[in-house]
Amino acid sequence: MIRKLFVPQPKASRFGRPPLYRRMCSADGGSAPTTRFLSATGKTFGGLQKVLGITSFIGIVCFVWQWQDRERPVRTIIDSKVRSTSTDVYIPRSELSDKLKVAVFSLKEDLQDYFISITGNREAGKSQLIRYVLDGYDGVLEVSLENDTPPRMAIRTILGVTDENAVARAFVEAESKLGRKPIILIDIHERVTNPNVLDAVSNFAKDFGYEKKLAKVLVVCSTAGTAAGITGDGRRIDFFVPQLTRKELDSADARRVFEIWHGKRVNDEDVQRIFDLVGGRIGNIKEILVLGRDGTMMGSLDKAIAWMKGKLLRDVRQYETIDRCGGFSPKGECLASWLAHEVARFPFDKCLPFKRVPLSPEDFAKTARDAHAHPIYFHPHIKGYCARSPFVHNQLRSVVFQPKSLRSPATAEPASSP
């Protein structure tokens, strides 16, 4: 008879147990069905003793299921780690790594930051740096965003819960077991361009991190993407990841990594050629060295460098289209060609002060990101507009002035590059 009462079972839900059991165990919707079930059971077995036995059994089962429901998202948070970087080769940047570790893991209240934006130029190594710092730590929930998935929805999906209260409760319990705040890592790749999603990330980090202090929220995004969509209202701490310097490229660690990527030793002359072309953007350096390995489709460093040169030239030509396609938003100011010539007017290691440019860094960043054109970037530390590499710096002089572009050069002293 017990078999008859419990079989056939309803199809299991995505939470791993039949919806009927969930209704029977709930405090609100389960009372009436459970009463009818016990009444029928009492008549069937003909005695209160058996009814009480089954009631106890159901109570135990419900307790276990409810405990599992409560514990599952907590364990998900505690057991989460960033994708392993142990097989990746990495150029250690100890000074940057140490500073980022202090910001993320410090337990001193005066050093606690709950909304940290890791910014930097495209291909500067932001994601690689944060993964290197977080590698091996528990309680790091990595959130992948899409253009139609805001962070709150993504986190609820990861934890298998349906409401914000359950999310908050899980993070509080995870903190008590970890002995520190859990970490939420949101790495925004360049394909995420929906302004509503970017705005949702900013609001989530301010609310969940800075205001409620339920977790430390780390947002990895390019400088352009951060300026365009990740606002902070004074509650955001910016951690800027600069390009590798020429000195860093000469270090023993860098040369060891270059040899692994290229399959053989890279001489000083080739390192200088690569730096002149792409600057210190580690992603572009890796592309050249890997594509120029013996046995690859390109098969030589010369061909890989020529390929990258063509890629950068197309980026400059794409930048020229900004003035032809309405200028910088939101006012439609046609300043792209003027800005290119102004940046080229100073030496490469100097930057044009943003105060002398009639354009906000946010408007510049948003338009450049939408146009997929990045020969110029805004440096938030020195507050200036800079060329991405010596080669690109020279090419900016060739940008053709558009008829509506501002022609009167601003008299500006260059800002020193770090």
Residue pLDDT, tens place only, 193-220: 777 888 888 888 888 888 888 999 998 8
The 10s digit of each residue's pLDDT in 313-335 is 999 999 988 877 777 766 767 88
Distance of alpha carbon 416 from alpha carbon 410, whole angstroms: 17
Q: Determine the average pLDDT of the residues in 215-241.
A: 75
**191, burial (CB in 10 Å: exposed 0-12, middle 13-18, buried 19+):** exposed
Which has more pLDDT, 43 or 125?
125
Residue 259 in this model has a pLDDT that exceeds 80: yes
Residue 405 in this model has a pLDDT that exceeds 60: no
Per the DSSP assignment, residues forming a β-bridge with 240 are 119
Q: Which residues contact 7 (CB under 8 A, 6 or more apart)?
A: none
Residue 269 in this model has a pLDDT that exceeds 90: yes
Q: Do 173 and 202 meet the contact criterion of CB atoms below 8 Å apart?
A: no
Q: Do 227 and 361 meet the contact criterion of CB atoms below 8 Å apart?
A: yes
**Identity of residue 54:** I
Q: What percent of the chain has pLDDT over 90?
A: 23
Closest-CA residue to 235 (of 262, 203, 261, 199):
203
| pLDDT value of residue 182 | 92
Beta 183-187 vs 216-220: how paired, if at all? Answer: parallel
The 10s digit of each residue's pLDDT in 78-127 is 988 887 555 567 788 888 888 888 888 875 555 567 888 888 888 888 88
The 10s digit of each residue's pLDDT in 373-398 is 889 988 887 888 999 999 999 999 88
Average pLDDT, the chain: 78
The model's confidence at residue 410, banded by pLDDT at 50, 70 and 90, is very low
Q: Is the pTM of this model over 0.85?
A: no
Q: What percent of the chain has pLDDT over 70?
A: 72
Q: Which SS3 state, helix, strand or coil, does residue 13 take?
A: coil
Which has more pLDDT, 16 or 372?
372
Q: Which SS3 state, helix, strand or coil, does residue 16 take?
A: coil
Q: Do 82 and 134 meet the contact criterion of CB atoms below 8 Å apart?
A: yes
Closest-CA residue to 281 (of 314, 249, 259, 239):
249
Distance of alpha carbon 224 from alpha carbon 372, whole angstroms: 10
**418, burial (CB in 10 Å: exposed 0-12, middle 13-18, buried 19+):** exposed
Q: Do 313 and 341 meet the contact criterion of CB atoms below 8 Å apart?
A: no
Residue with tokens 């390109």: 298
